[in-house]
Amino acid sequence: MNYHVIYDGKCNLCSNLVQLLETLDQGQLFDYTPMQDEAALKEFGITAQDCEMGMILIDANSPERRWQGSAAAEEIGNLLPLGDIFIAAYRAMPGVKWMGDRVYEQMRDNRYSWFGKRSSTYQSAYPIGCNATKSP
């Protein structure tokens, strides 16, 4: 795995999107930890306050390379097969990226009231540190 995704494991939308990404990626490129896992966050020097700005994507090979919020969502999309084409088009359309950033902020700030809050934290099938093997 090359990238760590830190997501809100209590948020229904976030957990469902992680499950979709797990299905698409099968642990090949991404592994995951919920932002409720304080021990894992501490390993990356991330605080609960840092997580208030949205999901975080960390390059496992260069941990100083990080994306957060809508930038993390874009980078995840960019890393998926053929995703770079869609992300390039999204970024090229005047005003669309600005609007996407504002929509992300609204969804982030209202996620529990709009999408609901889970009673338990979603734990990924591909947690950070798992040894998923790449298929041939």
Instruction: List, for residues 1-33, the tens digit of each pLDDT value.
Output: 699 999 999 999 999 999 999 999 999 999 999
Handedness of CA 91, 94, 98, 99 (dihedral sign): negative
pLDDT at 129: 74
Instruction: List, for residues 28-76, the tens digit of each pLDDT value.
Output: 999 999 999 999 999 999 998 999 999 999 999 999 999 999 999 999 9
Nearest 10 degrees: Cα torsion 23, 69, 56, 30: 20
| Burial of residue 25 (number of CB atoms within 10 Å: 0-12, 13-18, 19+) | buried
CA angle 122, 70, 132 (to 5 degrees): 45
Q: List the domain boundaries for the chain.
A: 3-115
Q: How far apart are CA 69 and CA 54, in angstroms?
A: 4
